[in-house]
Each structure stands twice: as structure tokens, then as C-alpha cells.
């Protein structure tokens, strides 16, 4: 599973808040219009999105931690490269689909010894996508 913990650290009316949630990145990236991380935190911690508490939280920096799976490669110094994660995740999905075609049609189990086939299939995919 590809996941990451998302948190914010802020104070409001003399009270300190540190809400944390774990986001399943596979599900999150499948949404047509993904919800902001601030809103996800608010929903899970029952913070009204039309309150001053939410406005303060929304202006706070998001911290990322405990990355799992592919998210590890895109997390550095409490920052997460969501765009990079999405691109690599989609690239991996395409490669997996192309490998399935190679397995079915040519009985090839991986591209390790077939780099030229992998490149040819990727070029054909990109040509068909444009």
C-alpha cells in the first residue's frame, strides 16, 4: 500500500492542535478532483470547514511522515512531492499493463533482459496517447 501520514501543527484560541491522518495514496490519486489534505484532516477530526479554527489550520504548513511504498521515494525533509508521486504511479501502471501484454503475447515475464521491447512498447503507447 502506498500511504503517508499528513499532519498540521497550529494553535487557536490558546489551544494547541496537531491532527494527523493517514492517506491511502492509491485511493486519493484515483479521485477525479482530489480533496485538499487540509480538508481531509478537517473531515476526519470533525473540524467545521466553515469555522475560524479551519481557517487557521488551512493557513498552517502540512507535515508529511511515515511514507509507505512508492511514497518513500517522494518524501524528503517533511515534504511530499505529490505531482512526482502521481507521475511515477501512472508510469508504473502503464509499465505493468505493457508487461501483461508482453507476457500474454510473447511469454516474457519481465523487461530486465528485454529493454528494447520495453522501449518499443512505451513508444507505441505514447504514440497512441497523443
* Domain locations along the chain: 3-80, 89-129
Comparing CA positions, the residue from 43, 40, 29, 38 lying closest to residue 10 is 38
Q: How confident is the model at residue 32 (pLDDT cuts 50, 70, 90)?
A: confident
Distances (CA, A) of 113 to 93, 117, 119: 20, 9, 12
Between CA 90 and CA 84 the distance in angstroms is 10
**For the segment 43-92, what is each residue's pLDDT rounded down to a tens digit?**
999 999 999 999 999 999 999 999 999 999 999 988 999 999 999 998 88
**Torsion sign, CA atoms 25, 30, 34, 35:** negative
**For the segment 103-116, what is each residue's pLDDT rounded down to a tens digit?**
998 888 888 888 88
Asked if pLDDT for residue 12 goes beyond 80, the answer is yes
Q: Can you tell me which residue has the cell 479551519?
A: 54
**For the segment 72-84, what is each residue's pLDDT rounded down to a tens digit?**
999 998 899 999 9
Amino acid at each position: 500500500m502506498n500511504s503517508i501520514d499528513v499532519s498540521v501543527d497550529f494553535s487557536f484560541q490558546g489551544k494547541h492542535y496537531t491532527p494527523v491522518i493517514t492517506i491511502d495514496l492509491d485511493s486519493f490519486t484515483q479521485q477525479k478532483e482530489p480533496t485538499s489534505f487540509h480538508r481531509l484532516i478537517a473531515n476526519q477530526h470533525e473540524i467545521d470547514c466553515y469555522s475560524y479554527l479551519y481557517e487557521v489550520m488551512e493557513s498552517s504548513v502540512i507535515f508529511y511522515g511515515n511514507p509507505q511504498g512508492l511514497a518513500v521515494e517522494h518524501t524528503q525533509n517533511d515534504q511530499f512531492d505529490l505531482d512526482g508521486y502521481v507521475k511515477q504511479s501512472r508510469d508504473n501502471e502503464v509499465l505493468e499493463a505493457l508487461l501483461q501484454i508482453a507476457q500474454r503475447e510473447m511469454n516474457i515475464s519481465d523487461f530486465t533482459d528485454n529493454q528494447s521491447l520495453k522501449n518499443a512498447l512505451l513508444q507505441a503507447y505514447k504514440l497512441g496517447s497523443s
